Amino acid sequence: MNTEAQKRRHAAYDITDCISNLAQGVLLIGSVAYAPDAVSPASDLDMVGVFDFPKTDFQELYRRLGRTYEPLVAEYAHARRANTVSIVWNVPDFEIGLHLWDTTALEKVSYLRDHNVVFARNDSLRHFRSTAIRETRYNLEGQPKIFEKPFQEVEGGKLVNFYPFWEDESGFYPGIQFNNLLLNPTILYEGSYDVSFELIRFQHNLQEKFRRYGGNRDKQRISLYNALDPKIKAKVPESLRMVLTEVY
């Protein structure tokens, strides 16, 4: 692991220590988790914090993170009008994205069904991939397709329907939240809620889907590796590439 990855992991552990007794679980995701040797000075730090939104003290959460409290985030989250929201900030050397998932959000990804709802602030719509209204995804053959996400205008921004994956006649298109659980997430903290079980359930349901979906497919032509964004492909180590090509 290089020094850039180590700096980000240390920051991830510090954040986990700050929020652990408010959270149900904390995951390290992104390149720091799946490709630490490829982490560079330009890499950010991404984490998922799993919470029971209606019971979460968001004001205390923001205080511990040293961020300005956002009442609208708390309002939409407490009512579960949004079950996903992100807090993004910069430290001197890199950007940190703490992605808050309600337990229902994690379960919808692990069950491979339905969609989540992201609260996209007006000032984040152009800058943050998970809150963008349009996005490019790739199917199992690596073919791109642009998707428009349904959304509802609300005070302060939009409630955006966010699909962990999309499946239609042209193929299976994984999304960001799907990849968060696919690409070697690391559990940094686990409370009474069984985050480990949800990760196992995700793997089980993914394998079942691919049994039905592909059978004895041509693994050089159709694979989850092909469905990755090219920027992610460039970082994935060979050992993980083989899993994404041969196992699924």
Least confident of 57-61, 157-161, 192-196, 216-220: 216-220
The pair phi, psi for residue 56, each rounded to 5°, is: -85, 135
Q: Which residue from 200, 183, 162, 170 is spatially nearest to 84, judged by alpha carbons?
A: 162
1 band by pLDDT with thresholds 50, 70 and 90: confident
Overall domain count for the chain: 1
pLDDT at 226: 93
Please, what is the Cα angle at 45 between 201 and 6, to 5 degrees? 100
Could you give the percent of the chain with pLDDT greater than 90? Answer: 83
83 contacts 24 by C-beta, under 8 angstroms: no
Q: How far, CA to CA in Å, does 219 sit from each of 60, 107, 215, 216, 226?
A: 48, 29, 10, 8, 10
Could you give the percent of the chain with pLDDT greater than 70? Answer: 92
How far is 60 from 22, CA to CA, in rounded Å?
9
The mean pLDDT of the chain is 92
DSSP for 63-119 reads HHHT----HHHHHHHHTTS-SEEEEEEE-SS-EEEEEEEEHHHHHHHHTT-S-EEEE
160 contacts 133 by C-beta, under 8 angstroms: yes
How far is 31 from 72, CA to CA, in rounded Å?
30
pLDDT at 180: 97
Q: Is residue 141's pLDDT more than 80?
A: yes
Q: Is residue 99's pLDDT more than 80?
A: yes
Q: Is residue 127's pLDDT more than 50?
A: no
Residue 123 tokens, joined: 């000032």
How far is 66 from 90, CA to CA, in rounded Å?
12
Residue span of the structural domain in which 62 resides: 3-246
> What element of type H or E holds 16?
helix 3-19
Question: pTM here?
Answer: 0.93
159 contacts 82 by C-beta, under 8 angstroms: yes
pLDDT at 126: 42
119 contacts 130 by C-beta, under 8 angstroms: no
153 band by pLDDT with thresholds 50, 70 and 90: very high
Residue partners of 53: CB distance under 8 A and separation at least 6: 77, 78, 80, 83, 100, 102, 103
Residue 151 tokens, joined: 């959304």
For the stretch 200-245, pLDDT in tens is 999 999 998 887 765 545 555 789 999 999 999 999 999 999 999 8
Q: How large is the average pLDDT for residues 127-152?
A: 84
Q: Which residue from 225, 229, 232 is spatially nearest to 247, judged by alpha carbons?
A: 225
For the stretch 24-56, pLDDT in tens is 999 999 999 999 999 999 999 999 999 999 999
pLDDT at 219: 54
Residue 240 tokens, joined: 């993980």
246 band by pLDDT with thresholds 50, 70 and 90: confident
